[in-house]
Amino acid sequence: MIIAQQKPIKEIAAMIADCKKVLLAGCQGCVAVCLAGGDKETEILASALRIMRKLEGNPLEAVTYAATRQCDPEYIVPMDDLVKDVDAVISLACGVGVQYVAERYPDKWVVPALDTKFIGGSTVHGVWEEKCGLCGECILHRTGGICPIIRCSKSILNGPCGGSQYGKCEVSKDVDCAWQLIYDRMKALGRLDKMMEIQMPKDWSKSRDGGPRRAVREDVIIE
Amino acid sequence: MRIQYSPNIRIVEMTCTGNIDHRVILNAFEEGADGVYVAGCLEGDCHFQKGNFRAKKRVNAVKKLLDEIGLGGDRLEMYNLSAAQGPRFAEIANEMTAKIKALGPSPLNSPAGGCCGCSKEGATN
């Protein structure tokens, strides 16, 4: 899922300093699962902003709505009536949701409440870690199910490098050397020979080097 | 046992402090409470094992948020006591009331804040 975290509340308040009424739009997708922008977080932020503004003697009317997800335009449409009379929309979605909301309401001030961090998962409740580098061409079948693109600090494809010491990365003693993990796992699987195969250079044009990407499936497009 | 305690406490019963949500506490302040305290079971005595520890974490998170937004985390506390500690319950009620009185009414209740100026105190159990 996409992992996001809420911006400092003072930064969010500053973005809507000149607004009298705002809509806080939560998202029940990834950001709800990573406890950053679901129903609960949306209501907490609304309450905190109302209190903050009342204390400043400049009351704020804050209404809330949580879309099924904001990365599909059809789920933003139900917000139309709520958006009509607000001065701004604070989106608690990832960067994708914020942009779809901004596109839907071209005359509205749309601001992000979250910092979109990375693609990852949770290790325990409340702790998330980065797992995928979105490189556009998965190589996990060659690396024992461990992604060197994102889990190696250098994203190198022929590790480990000289900075690998006792299984840890030189960047931090808390970061495992991804290539050590890959080697250990391939060895345990009896597939070390796979690591000796000559690999062609990675096609980075399928990653961000190729500019903004699109994915198309002709067979499911509704005319 | 007829123990007197500050009459300005409004008790909000909850099934377990582990059910305490940030929103419940913030809502109490928005509704006019000058202070809020969460009274959980003694640590180690939770029927659901960790409810009061989870509540403690959430209370601390809301205290931090109250500091950030200017209302002040001092207006929120968590206490632990058992259902058999009546005298302690009264003691906590009086202690919290004295603390909040020293802090003064919630600025959210001042005329500038647009409220009625009432002086209520919310308590959650």
- Over residues B39-98, the pLDDT tens digits come to 999 999 999 999 999 999 999 999 999 999 999 999 999 999 999 999 999 999 999 999
Joined together, the tokens standing for residue A59 give: 């009351």
At B124 the pLDDT is 38
At A77 the pLDDT is 97
Contacts of B68 in chain A (CB under 8 A): 8-10, 48
Joined together, the tokens standing for residue A92 give: 């608690």
**Which domain covers residue B120, as residue numbers?**
9-124
Give the pLDDT band of residue B115 (cuts 50, 70, 90): very low
Which of B54, B69, B76 to mutate against chain A (most A CBs within 10 Å)? B69
Closest CA to A144 of A184, A175, A177, A199: A184
pLDDT tens digits, B8-47? 999 999 999 999 999 999 999 999 999 999 999 999 999 9
Give the pLDDT band of residue B112 (cuts 50, 70, 90): low
pLDDT at residue B119 greater than cutoff 50? no
Task: Domain count for chain B, please give it.
Answer: 1
The whole-angstrom separation of Cα A222 and Cα B6 is: 67
| Degrees, nearest 5: CA angle A3-A6-A7 | 125
Which of B26, B53, B75 to mutate against chain A (most A CBs within 10 Å)? B26
Closest CA to A99 of A121, A132, A76: A76
| Dihedral, A136, A137, A140, A143 alpha carbons, nearest 10 | -110
pLDDT at residue B125 greater than cutoff 70? no
Cis peptide preceding A112, ω within 30 of 0 = no
At B116 the pLDDT is 40
pLDDT at residue B123 greater than cutoff 50? no
Domain(s) labelled CATH 3.40.50.2300 in chain A stretch across 2-118
Please name the member of B22, B69, B112 whose beta carbon is closest to the beta carbon of A51.
Answer: B69
What is the number of other CB atoms lying within 10 angstroms of the CB of residue A136?
17
Q: Note whether residue B4 is domain-resident.
A: no
Give the pLDDT band of residue B120 (cuts 50, 70, 90): very low
Helix, strand, coil fractions of chain B, as percent rounded to 5? 45, 20, 35
Our CA-based measurement puts residue B80 at a distance from the nearest CA of chain A, in whole angstroms, of 25
The whole-angstrom separation of Cα A25 and Cα A11 is: 17
Q: Note whether residue B2 is domain-resident.
A: no
Q: Which residue of B has its CA nearest to A56?
A: B113
The whole-angstrom separation of Cα A134 and Cα A132 is: 6
Q: Residue A89 is inside which H or E element, if any? A: strand A88-91
CB contact under 8 A, B23 and A51: no
Residues 6+ apart with CB under 8 A from B78: B17, B37, B38, B39, B40, B55, B56, B59, B60
Residues of chain A with pLDDT under 70: none
Give the pLDDT band of residue B110 (cuts 50, 70, 90): confident
Q: Which residue of B has its CA nearest to A13?
A: B69
pLDDT at residue B118 greater than cutoff 60? no
pLDDT at residue B111 greater than cutoff 90? no
Q: Note whether residue B81 is domain-resident.
A: yes
The whole-angstrom separation of Cα B101 and Cα B93 is: 12
Contacts of A39 in chain B (CB under 8 A): none
Contacts of B69 in chain A (CB under 8 A): 9, 48-49, 51-52, 55
What is the number of other CB atoms lying within 10 angstroms of the CB of residue A75?
17
Closest CA to B37 of B87, B106, B99, B112: B99
Cα separation values, A65 from A73, B39, B60, B61, Å: 15, 32, 27, 24
Contacts of A38 in chain B (CB under 8 A): none
Q: Note whether residue B3 is domain-resident.
A: no
* Strand order from edge to edge, sheet including A61-67: A61-67, A21-27, A88-91, A109-112
Interface predicted TM-score (ipTM): 0.88
- The domain A2-118 belongs to what CATH superfamily? Response regulator (3.40.50.2300)
Please name the member of B26, B27, B114 whose beta carbon is closest to the beta carbon of A54.
Answer: B114
